[in-house]
Structure 1
Amino acid sequence: MKDGPTPAMKQYYTVKAAHPDAILFFQMGDFYETFGDDAAVVARELDIVLTARGRDRNGERMPLAGVPLHAADGYIARLVNKGYKVVVCDQVEDPKKAKGVVKRDVVRVITPGTLIDSAMLSSSGAKYLMAIAPGKKDAWGMAFLDVSTGEFFVSTGDGGRDCHEIVSEVVRYRPSECIVPESCGDAVIDRLRSQGVLVSRYRDEAFAPGAAAALLCEQFGTASLAGYGCEGLDEAVAAAGAALHYARETQRSELCHITGLATRLPKKAMVLDAITLRNLEITKSIRGDTDTATLLSALDATETPMGGRLLRSLLIAPLIAREAIEQRLDAVEYFVAGPMVRADIRSRLHRCADIERIAGRIAYGNAGPRDLATLRESIGQLPALKACFAGDLPAKITEALASMSDLAETEDLIGRAIVDDPPAMAKAGGMIREGFNPDLDTLRELATSGKDWIAEFQQSERERTGIRSLKVGYNRIFGYYIEVTKANLHLVPPEYERRQTTANGERYTIPELREKEALIATAEERLSAVEAETYANLVATLAAAVPELQATARAVAHLDVYAGLAEVAARYDYTRPAIEESGRIVIREGRHPVVERSMDVGFVPNDTELDGSGNQIMIITGANMAGKSTYMRAVALICIMAQMGSFVPARHAGIGLVDRVFTRVGAFDDLASGQSTFMVEMLELANILNNVTDQSLVVLDEIGRGTSTLDGCSIAQAVVEFLHGKAVTGPRTLFATHFHELITLEGSLKRVHNFHFAVRDTGREVTFLRKLIPGATDKSYGVHVAELAGIPKKVTDRARTVLKEAMLQEPRTGAGGQPRYTQMLLVDPGEGTAVTNPAVEELQRLNLDEMTPLAALNTLHRLRDLANGGDGRR
């Protein structure tokens, strides 16, 4: 630009300098324009045309990309959901009245973690803003705030090596954005970004504990934070204060719907770290960025968005207090026992909208007319919902019903104010019901009668002038006019005043039309302003009911979760678990809650008995694809389900309380940090061994396979010995391995027992029976699995040859000279049936002490014939 930037572009540069890390939407007339690098990003991400206009401050062509004002929310939502921040700068004065350049100001700062507009929230799930603040000795405070609902809580974690606990909280709650102090080290930020989180540095003073506590007390209207359980947790308070400060600053609002703070410390719930959440696929599938085929998807039969969010929060933090678990189970059992009540309640819940988020938008002041109409319909379901309950009720249901407000006045106010089918946006007009505001009714009548007058005027002028084609039209420049075609110009009366010549004729006006035009224009302009003011006052009045709406939404969410868990239990034959403090885990006919849904044939259930002082460690050997991993995961998932308050997929389950579930399964290279599969395995194993307690449940699958056989076997044995220890009890452990040398530990460690999955091997065909039985096996059937996977026959045939040669050379002894042994299932008995195979019966009758070698060989041939279905006559 030869003469420097224009006044408008000077405004742009000033605003952009204040928000360098955001995309600036700068209003220019009916468009939002973006410039420079912002324009390049917008064009690429939104697939719109990138143009250029004028010159930037360096004299280069200025890239430009714009979107229409009326469609901006959709474009902004797409950018924010891709992880960008967007700053909206509006014209804040009428251009017609402006003296010089139009005044502009930032009206919104929209970030992924502070979304509140319904059009921009891509799902009903929680949308957390996370803040982390460092403390002493690697202690970190964490805060999570969902601006759309007002949910706000803090936690603490160890920010030591690899930020393991911080990452676990990220995986658990999936924040959309995280703010950290400006002075925060790059290592922590890089670790957060590796989890796909948008991380922003925020000024250090916002994280000062004193200032943070003062801001929180001001927000909640309290003298201290003692009632929120976070006294003494300075780093958590610092994080919470920074999160609130950031949200208020970006939203340009006091956010009055944020009325309290919860403290969720790890020791108050079962610990499920990031590795366990991933390995057990609690909320996210390992197979891709999807929420299907997860424990959450298997249990989620909720009918409301509030219920769905609550279910997820309960599932990722199961309880460790027996009484609290039993109270949830009582509520679920109430609904299981009453299918008719359950169906009635679920049908009414289905008609309830997201009361929690609508309440947040009312508090923020941007609730749309359709939000209010939906809220009225939802409130209308509450009396009938409460009427479904009668008699003695479980404590959790009684508690929820007591928290539900009547809200009759709110329903009545909305019903009187809002039309039955309102527009989505208030600026569209036409949302206030007739009779609610007398002044508005008067203006509507004037505007309507004015339009009727125009129609009557047109007809009377046609009759008076004899011009049958005469029309009365309107445009924004000339207002109302009389239009006459060229063929009829000789009939125009002398009192007509010409205003405009067109290609087809002339346009005129008369004093009478001008006077009426002024009245109509004034009425329509006032009508729009009065309706907007009426609606704004209505939303402000409804804001007083936000605390009651939030409490009611939480109550509805709890009822929805209990009824949904009951529906799943009834539909898939789950049973109520018995919660114990004995340390025993006893599961009869347990099933995997996710895998069983995807199977075309019936899922084979299995039993489990674990006891820290008896059957502490189960070493599980057996064929690939026999079901070891599925079985172990099923045991862990059943424990998690039981302690979160759900019925479980089993005929019986006695669950001794578990404080943490540790898992080490699968092989994952950490390419970002250059760590090998084996290094990742050892890091995860170190975390388990350093943090495990006697109340923990440990699931280990193929420890040591990422290195040489000798090293791997040595490590695996050392891990088993460590977990067993020298005390009288230890963590309950499921240990699957292909190191068959480990089966000898059963003889030297008294709380270690061998199990394997049965296989029917006829010599010609291998069948995986999926049944866990005592004893060990030294066969893995890897070549058979390779055939099932489609490996070329030439390869599998050669593999068999190599395997036979190796087996001939390998001595059949295990560690310490102990003989290996294999326990095969000779038959596949049905449930509850005794083994009656003739080969087994004859084996039981043999007197081995009196048998000669030749007789033994003949007997062995006969038994093989019997086992293969022959008559045994040889």
Structure 2
Amino acid sequence: MSSSTPMMRQYLEIKSQHPDAILFFRLGDFYEMFMEDAVTASRVLGLTLTSRNKGAVEQVPLCGIPYHSSQGYIARLVDNGFKVAICEQVEDPREAKGIVKREVVQVVTPGLVVDSENLQPKENNFLLALAAGEQELYGLSCVDITTGAFRVTECRGLDELRSEIISLNPREILVSADGISESLSTQLQSVLAERLVNRLPEWVFEEDRARRLLHDFFAVSNLQGFGCEHLVVGVRAAGAVLHYLQQTRQGGLEHIRSLAPYACADYLILDAATRRNLELTATQGEGRKKGSLLGVMDRTLTAMGGRKLRHWINYPLNVAVQIRARLQAVGELREKSLLREDLRECLDGVYDLERLGARIAMAGAGAKDLAALRVSLGKVPGILALFSDLEAPLLCQLGQVIDPLEDVRDLIAEALVDDPPFVLREGGLIRDGFSAELDDLRLISREGKGWIVRLEQQERERTGIGSLKVRYNKVFGYYIEITRTHLARVPEDYQRKQTLVNAERFITPALKEYEDKVLGAEERIQALEYDLFQEVRQQVALQGRRLLATADALAELDVLLGLADLAHEADYVCPQIDESTMLHIEEGRHPVVERMNLGERFVPNDVLLDTTDNQLLIITGPNMAGKSTFMRQVALITLMAHLGSFVPARAARIGLVDRIFTRVGASDNLASGQSTFMVEMTETANILHNATPRSLIILDEIGRGTSTFDGVSIAWAVAEYLHEHASVAAKTLFATHYHELADLALTCKRVKNWNVAVREWNDQVIFLRKIVKGGASHSYGIQVARLAGIPPAVVERAKEVLRNLEAGEFSGEGQPALARGRAREQVPSPQLSLFDSAADELRRKLAEVDVSVLTPLEALNVLDRLKKMV
């Protein structure tokens, strides 16, 4: 450093304070990057890499970008996982003595992006901190700096923690360098891998320090007023978040006005597997919103409404009173179609007030942002006028919260022109009449420019040079330009200023005097307009609490209007919500699948689940028949009801559910050393340990990841456990291809058999998509394989092997004759009997039955059992 230039010494000193960030070093109209930062940035951004000290032994790599177009470059670096430190000139270069003073004013990371062009409008951009406590208690705190939302909670166990991280979907996570063990990091690898993880010193997460930091920031003596005094581990995480914000933002956090605690138990709990399997906010394959539940339900007109709906889907309610309040509001808005359309028309065009308010508070808002706020607030009186016709208590409450902020709207209207420019320092922002001093300067500027026009005409007449021109540029100021052919007519009082190839430029004492007056006025105008704009922005920022409250209420209104519009268009019904354990849906439909163009009519289905007679439904039937669709639609209808939405059905009675579990499909987790079957068993174990009689469980093909005998044994035992243990006894839909599980209904009184109806025609299977009572006898897997395009030779051979299995044919060694096409002498083998002792016992009992005293239906059932077991 000692041998460097003063500017490079300044750069190296600032860079040493931010070694893990790419430093954008302001030099005039450019941000410059040097050395390793330049090499990295040139590669990621596609910039030309040059060098400083050309010709010297040691050259310094260099690249740069114009400061006014930096946002796009910053976004690309952040998207690629880099931090960017913005180093600005913090003093006027004209007043600097020596090197201009520079400081890092902001560090941009994935969790701290504020530029609207690089944010998803209907998604929060969370920064999350994670603290580990004792006995698997974890503190979790998140902040969305673009809206001011600051939350804290505590999670019990890894599964709850993982689910919460997935729900919040943070872009950046803060952890302790010492407090998060390697084993925990490995267990969370699936949710940490896709996000920037910053390891902070352990002292950042100390409780005493965290509390002091939060107390000072919110100017309180304790956290009881926020309701989170008792969240010891959560407070540690919240303190780490605030520390990180203060270190990276260097101020501009006034819009964060509260710390909101919440408990996962306050909502219907959805674990990570359930969120993934039900495709709540994104599809499994492509991660797209389209094709998810959110994609169907989102009728919101504002970005803040879209974020609110996403939150409702991720956090469904589990309090009947709150759910009914939302349903009542949706119902009224659905019935009053004209009023609903008027409200939606008023909301359409309202800008993102949450993020506008945050940018204003962080002094990052431009004149365009304030103009957008004025336009949005101008729509609020019309919205409030329509509330006089609404009666639902929730809607009336929203009407009382919504503040038209007339003083803010009037201030902006009086201060700013209707269509202000993007650039703040070049004038044209402030309306005439707002500032007397500004009006005076503008008058001087306008008169001065008029004087220049008059001077040009006067000098043309005086000199007789018709081509004489009075012009201006930033280098030479105002001048008189005369072509060489007329130089002989130049008056003696003209002073030569510049010589060109074909002309000469001159100045006169009068022109110089007016130049100073006009240019001085324009410079003062630009400076004064910028100062006035900052004053207006600061006055608006002081009303941030009112603005955010109004934004939140308008967002909720937007969601309710969207749900009502969806219910009206899609013919949804209001579910009956109570505190029973019953789940009864008549003609239910899958909210996503029914809207897909699949070339066939969607077939509705009924379901009845309770904890007395219909606790566990064994659902059999072929692949592609609709088992998974049916089960998912039951789960989605239940979830939609809990978030306060009408549901796709003819009628629905839904008792409160505390959790929804799903175990669907095959997937592995190789990074954690878990095979497909291990993942399946891990998810199943989580269900068995945490389900309660108020839970809803969706199990699809338990035991398919291992051998047939192992798989059917596990599936049988899991079903029995769900039925027999009173602490579980959860409402369960259990889809399987193990037809043997139908026998559970013989010994478990709350188990019922259902199947997906099909018809066979000319060796083809026709799916009727209807769930009917009874168990299926075939899975029709070979027919489905043919539909999938399996070669005909394979299909025919599969039929032949199946006939051998069904006929009980064996090889000479007593094994099933799978490799033979010709029948052999049958040699009974006990290996084909799944439950030998039970089969023998059943045979003895059947032998004792007097068929003559049975009804025809009972006799048919007995004969059917004999056919299967003997």
TM-score, normalised by the number of residues in structure 2: 0.91
How far apart are the structure 2 equivalents of 1:676 and 1:818?
37
Relative distance call for 1:671 and 1:452 in structure 2 (3 A) is farther
Residue 814 of structure 1, CA deviation: 6.4
CA contact (8 A) 1:180 1:202 kept: yes
The verdict on how the C-alpha distance between 1:787 and 1:527 changes in structure 2, with shifts beyond 3 A counting, is same
Aligned to 1:164: 159
Q: CA deviation at 1:649?
A: 0.6
- State how far apart, in whole Å, the 2-side matches of 1:640 and 1:602 are: 24
1:79 to partner: Cα distance: 2.3
Give me the whole-angstrom Cα distance separating, in 1, the residues matched to 2:841 and 2:772: 20
Please name the residue that 2:373 is paired with.
375
Which residue number corresponds to residue 721 of structure 1? 720
1:722-751 residue CA offsets vs partner (Å, 9 max, x unmatched): 111254971111111111221111111111
Alpha-carbon distance in 2 for matches of 1:849, 1:110: 77
Q: Provide Cα deviations, 1:400-437, integer angstroms capped at 9, x if missing partner.
A: 11111131111111111111111234234311111111
Q: Which residue of 1 aligns with 2:807?
A: 808
**Shift in Å, 1:396:** 1.1
1:224-303 → structure 2 map (5 Å cutoff): 224-303=222-301
**Counterpart in the other structure of 2:181:** 185
Q: Quick one: which amino acid aligns to residue 575 of structure 1?
A: V
Check 1:136–1:813 CA distance in 2 against 1; reply closer, same or farther (3 A cut): closer
| Contact 2:693/2:727 (<8 A) preserved | no
Partner Cα distance (2:859, 2:265) in 1: 60
1:630 CA drift (Å):
0.7
- Aligned partners of 2:350, 2:834: CA distance in 1, in Å? 64
What percentage of aligned pairs have identical amino acids?
47
Aligned to 2:697: 698
The letter of the residue matching 1:817 is A
Q: Which residue is 1:736 aligned to?
A: 735
- Alpha-carbon distance in structure 1 between the residues aligned to 2:242 and 2:857: 81
Taking the aligned partners of 1:521 and 1:185, their CA distance within structure 2 comes to: 65
- Please, which moves more after superposition, 3-12 or 249-258? 3-12
Distance in 2 between the 1:60 and 1:224 partners? 57
- Give CA deviations for 1:59-96 in whole Å, capped at 9, x if unaligned: 75433221111111222123224432211111223334
- The residue type equivalent to 1:586 in the other structure is H
Q: Which residue of 1 aligns with 2:614?
A: 615
Q: In 2, distance between residues paired with 1:479 and 1:392?
A: 65
Deviation at 1:175, TM superposition (A): 0.8
Which piece of structure 1 moves more, 13-22 or 39-48?
39-48
Q: Any conservation in 2 of the 1:248–1:254 contact (CA below 8 Å)?
A: no
In the TM superposition, what are the counterparts of 1:104-123 in structure 2 within 5 Å?
104-123=102-121
Aligned 8 A contact 1:331 1:396 in 2:
yes
Larger CA deviation: 86-95 vs 613-622: 86-95
- Aligned position for 1:436: 434
Q: State the AA in 2 paired with 1:47.
A: G
SS of structure 2 residue aligned to 1:522: helix
Q: 1:646 to 1:847 in 2, by over 3 A?
A: closer
CA deviation after TM superposition for structure 1 residue 387, in Å: 1.3
1:210-609 paired onto structure 2 within 5 Å: 210-390=208-388, 393-599=391-597, 600-609=599-608
Q: Offset at 1:809?
A: 2.1
Q: How far does residue 254 in structure 1 lie from its aligned partner after superposition? A: 4.9
**Structure 2 Cα separation of the partners of residues 140 and 36 of structure 1:** 41
- How far the C-alpha of 1:341 sits from its partner, in A, is 0.8
- Residue 628 of structure 1 corresponds to 627
Moved more, 767-776 or 797-806: 797-806
Q: What's the CA shift for 1:362?
A: 1.6
Alpha-carbon distance between aligned partners in 2 of 1:338 and 1:758, rounded to the nearest angstrom: 41
Quote the offset at 1:803 in angstroms.
2.2
> 2: distance between equivalents of 1:568 and 1:777?
37
User: Structure 1 pair 392/536, CA: closer, same or farther in 2 (3 Å)?
Assistant: closer
Q: Deviations over 1:86-142 (max 9, x none)?
A: 111112233344333222111211122122333443434211111111222221111
Retained in 1: the 8 A contact 2:425–2:527? no
Structure 1 unmatched ranges of 5 or more: 821-844, 854-874
Q: 1:10, 1:221 → 2: CA distance?
A: 39
Q: Unaligned 5+ residue runs, structure 2?
A: 810-827, 843-854, 864-870
Q: How much does 1:712 deviate?
A: 1.2
* TM-score for both structures, normalised by structure 1: 0.90
Once the two structures are superposed, the pairs formed by residues 67-82 of structure 1 within 5 Å of their partners are 67-82=65-80
Worse overlay, 284-293 or 73-82: 73-82
Residue 777 (structure 1) aligns with: 776
1:42 maps to: 41
Letter in 2 for 1:155: T
AA partner of residue 41 (structure 2): V
For 1:728 and 1:197, how far apart are their aligned partners in 2? 38
Deviations 1:610-647 (A, max 9, x none): 11222111111110100011111110111111011111
- Residues 463-505 of structure 1 deviation map (CA, whole Å, 9 limit, x = unaligned): 2112222222223222212222222222211211112211222
Following superposition, the deviation at residue 370 of structure 1 comes to 1.2
Q: Does residue 682 of structure 1 match 2:678?
A: no
Answer whether contact 1:369 1:426 (CA < 8 A) is retained.
Answer: yes
Question: Which residue is equivalent to 1:832?
Answer: none
Q: Amino acid of the residue matched to residue 592 of structure 1?
A: H
8 Å CA contact 1:189, 1:199 repeated in 2: no
Matching residue's letter, 1:472: V
Give the secondary structure class of the aligned counterpart of 1:426.
coil
The answer to whether structure 1 residue 793 and structure 2 residue 792 are counterparts is yes
Question: Runs in 1 of length 4+ with deviation above 6 angstroms?
Answer: 810-814, 845-850
Change (3 A) 1:355 1:637: same
2:839 to 794, 804, 817: 817
Residue 666 of structure 1 deviates from its aligned partner by: 1.1
The one-letter amino acid paired with 1:738 is H
**Aligned equivalent of 2:124:** 126
Structure 2 CA distance, aligned partners of 1:406 and 1:6? 56
What per-residue deviation string (whole Å, max 9, x for no partner) do you get for residues 20-57 of structure 1?
A: 22111111222111223322332233232233334899
Using the TM superposition, name which of 305-314 and 497-506 deviates more.
497-506
Cα 1:716/1:56, change in 2 over 3 Å: farther
Quote the Cα distance in structure 2 between the aligned partners of 1:726 and 1:135. Answer: 32
Do the aligned partners of 2:691 and 2:728 also contact (CA within 8 Å) in 1? no
How far the C-alpha of 1:378 sits from its partner, in A, is 1.1
Equivalent position amino acid for 2:512 in 1: R
Paired letter, 2:345: S
Report the Cα offset of residue 773 of structure 1. Answer: 0.6
- Distance of aligned partners of 1:222 and 1:103 in 2 relative to their CA distance in 1, 3 Å threshold: closer
Q: Do the aligned residues in 1 keep the contact of 2:252 with 2:361 (CA within 8 Å)? A: no
Distance 1:794-1:427 versus aligned 2 partners, 3 A rule: farther
Q: Counterparts of 2:533 and 2:840 in 1: how far apart (Å)?
A: 85
Q: Does 1:652 align with 2:651?
A: yes
- Larger deviation, residues 807-816 vs 449-458: 807-816
2:773 maps to amino acid: P
1:817 Cα deviation after fit: 2.8
What CA distance in whole angstroms lies between the structure 2 residues aligned with 1:322 and 1:849? Answer: 48
Summarize deviations over 1:524-583 as a string: whole Å, max 9, x none. Answer: 111111000000000111122111111111111111111111111111111111112120
One-letter code aligned to 1:601: E
Aligned residue pairs, count: 822
Change in Cα spacing, 1:819 to 1:456, as seen in structure 2 (3 Å) is: farther
Q: 1:100 aligns with which of 90, 98, 111?
A: 98
Distance change in 2, residues 1:88/1:803 (3 Å): same
1:672-731 CA-partner distances (Å, limit 9, x unpaired): 223211111111112111111111111111111111111111111111111112549711
Three-state SS of the structure 1 residue aligned to 2:654 is strand
Cα distance in 2 for residues equivalent to 1:208 and 1:396: 41
8 Å CA contact retained: 2:693, 2:726:
no
CA distance in 2, matches of 1:847, 1:656: 36
Shift of 1:314: 1.1
Aligned counterparts of 1:535 and 1:280: Cα–Cα separation in 2: 49
